[in-house]
A = this chain, B = another copy of it.
Amino acid sequence: MKTVISLPELRAARAAMPEPIGFIPTMGYLHEGHLSLARRARQECASVLASIFVNPTQFGPGEDLSKYPRDLPRDLSMFASVSVDLVWTPTPEAMYPPGFQTWVSVENLAKGLEGATRPGHFRGVATVVAKLFNAVQPQKAYFGQKDAQQAAVIKQMARDLDIPIEIIICPTVREADGLAMSSRNAYLNIDERRAATVLYRALSAAKVAYEGGERCAESLRCIMSRTINVEPLVKLQYVSCADYETLTELVTLSSKTLLSLAVFVGKTRLIDNFVIG
């Protein structure tokens, strides 16, 4: 496995790689979710290229940019273990040089849910992903369903800007007790880790109700929030029962639906979602 840091090095290395190229953009501190993306790319593509970049522009003031977990040696050995060909680790200074002033914004899809609670987050995401795509020029790019709104925003951006890259969304990978894998799980102490299973339990309770015939979106939201509120270490930020395509809140469920929620477990913010219908 080769690693590169600068954009010219990346372009030179990429030009020598057989196509199609599968690309996995990450912020590092890898877990099984990331590796599942790399394994899928390995099956589907002649070359697999990953990036590790903790993107400052998608963090708001007061968010966890400076203490976001990092462990590059561990990340590189994990990517090597799933036969990634090339890892690009650009620097913030190279990605956002003095005078940087161009932003990519996806309007409607970025408004609610994470966008409402993290203003500017998806502008940072769309901009950095556009840059990574232009630098790497892969044929396919892989993202996790755990960040459901991010996946929707990136698919919309690629469609709207005629970016010739197939966006592939892979299932959320979970711990044995249902907790969705996330780099931020590293922040949790033992009690918080135990309490964090409540996200999965809340989503599962809503899904059981749906499978029992419940089609009222507000009832499903209530089931989720009641489940969360029972857990004293966890503070609910939002629950949502939204149309899967538009991410607008539903009154009555009829087609593919995104159940999602965000909570604080102590100081750690966690999100999760189920797709139903």
The answer for the CA separation of A151 and B268 in the assembled complex, in Å, is 45
The answer for the CA separation of A11 and B130 in the assembled complex, in Å, is 20
A1-19 CB contacts (< 8 Å) to partner B = 7, 11
Is A275 part of the contact surface with B, judged by Cβ < 8 Å? no
Which chain B residue lies CB-closest to A134?
Answer: B162
23 A-B pairs within 8 Å (CB atoms) are namely A7-B162, A99-B156, A101-B106, A101-B107, A101-B108, A101-B109, A101-B156, A101-B160, A102-B104, A102-B106, A102-B126, A102-B161, A103-B104, A103-B107, A104-B104, A104-B161, A127-B161, A131-B161, A131-B162, A134-B161, A134-B164, A135-B162, A137-B164
- Assess A134 versus B163: contact at CB under 8 Å? Given A101-B107, A101-B109: yes
Chain A interfacial positions (CB closer than 8 Å to B) = 7, 11, 99-109, 126-127, 130-131, 134-135, 137, 156-157, 160-164
Oligomeric state, in number of copies?
2
Other 10 A-B pairs with CB < 8 A, given A103-B104, A103-B105: A101-B108, A102-B104, A102-B156, A103-B107, A104-B104, A105-B105, A130-B161, A131-B160, A134-B164, A137-B164
Query: How far is the CB of A100 from the nearest CB of chain B, in Å?
Result: 5
Residues in chain B near residue A162, CB distance under 8 A: 7, 131, 134-135
